[in-house]
Structure 1
Amino acid sequence: MTKAAVIILAGIEGHENVGRLANGLEAAKEFAETEGDEVELIFDGAGTQWIPELEDEDSDYHELYQTVRDDTSVCDYCSGAFGVDDAVNDAGLVTLDDHDGHPSIRSLVDDDYEIITF
């Protein structure tokens, strides 16, 4: 059994960040589809800006995102800092604020999660 935390930090600007998003979603999907594996997909920092686009059914990555949406959470502080807190709330996604308003990476490591960032 593998436990992975896939963290999307890439913002929405630039072709390279679109690639990082796509690769992060594909990695999370692979873990989600593997029996016995556990995955946490976390949007943090500028990565929180992807939520409104991914929730849009017309987005190129909406369908891929839907395959891992149940395993998705968002940094509480960063969703506000990047102005997407309303979209996150409207989507009904879990927000994480375990460590000074941010997700606790230490807790994930303590729970034996491999941390993978995109």
Structure 2
Amino acid sequence: MAKAAIVILAGNESHSDYGRLANALEAAKEFAENDDDELELIFDGAGTQWIPELEDEESDYHELYQAVRDDAAVCDFCSGAFGVEDAVADAGLVTLDEYDGHPSIRSLVDDDYEIITF
């Protein structure tokens, strides 16, 4: 059994950012497909900007995102800072604010999750 926390920090401004997103979602899907694994998928920092695009059915990454959406959560503070709080709320995604308005990475480490950032 593996425990992985995949954190998407990359924004959506460059071709390489799209590559990081695709790799993060593929990695998350691999964990999600294994019933013995535990997955936390967190959109944090500039990574919160992906939510409106990924929720759009026309997005090239929508289907891949849908495969892991149930495991996804979004940084509460950063969704506001990057102007996507309405899209996050409309999507019904869980927001995380355990540490100063942000997800608690320490608690994930304490729970023996491997932290993987993209």
Given the two structures, how large is their TM-score scaled by the length of structure 1? 0.99
Distance (Å, rounded) in 2 between the aligned partners of 1:18 and 1:102: 23
Matched, 1:50 2:50: yes
Displaced runs of 4+ in structure 1, greater than 2 A? none
Mean alpha-carbon deviation: is it higher for 33-42 or for 44-53? 33-42
Question: Quick one: distance in 1 between partners of 2:59 and 2:38?
Answer: 26
Give 1:35 shift.
2.3
Check if 1:29 corresponds to 2:23: no
Look up the equivalent residue of 1:99 and give its one-letter code: Y
SS in 2 for 1:39: strand
Report the alpha carbon displacement of residue 100 of structure 1 after superposing the two structures with TM. Answer: 0.0
Find the aligned partners of 2:54 and 2:92 in 1 and give their Cα distance.
13
Please give the secondary structure, in 1, of the residue aligned with 2:87.
helix
Which stretches in structure 2 are left out of the alignment for 5+ residues?
Answer: none
Partner of 2:112, secondary structure, is coil
Identity of aligned residues (%): 81
* TM-fit CA distance, 1:16: 0.3
Write out aligned runs for 1:73-92 (5 A).
73-92=73-92
2:38 counterpart residue number: 38
1:34 positional shift: 1.1
Residue 92 of structure 1: CA displacement?
0.2
What RMSD over aligned residues (CA atoms) do the two structures have, in Å? 0.3
TM-score when normalising by structure 2: 0.99
Q: Number of residue pairs matched?
A: 118
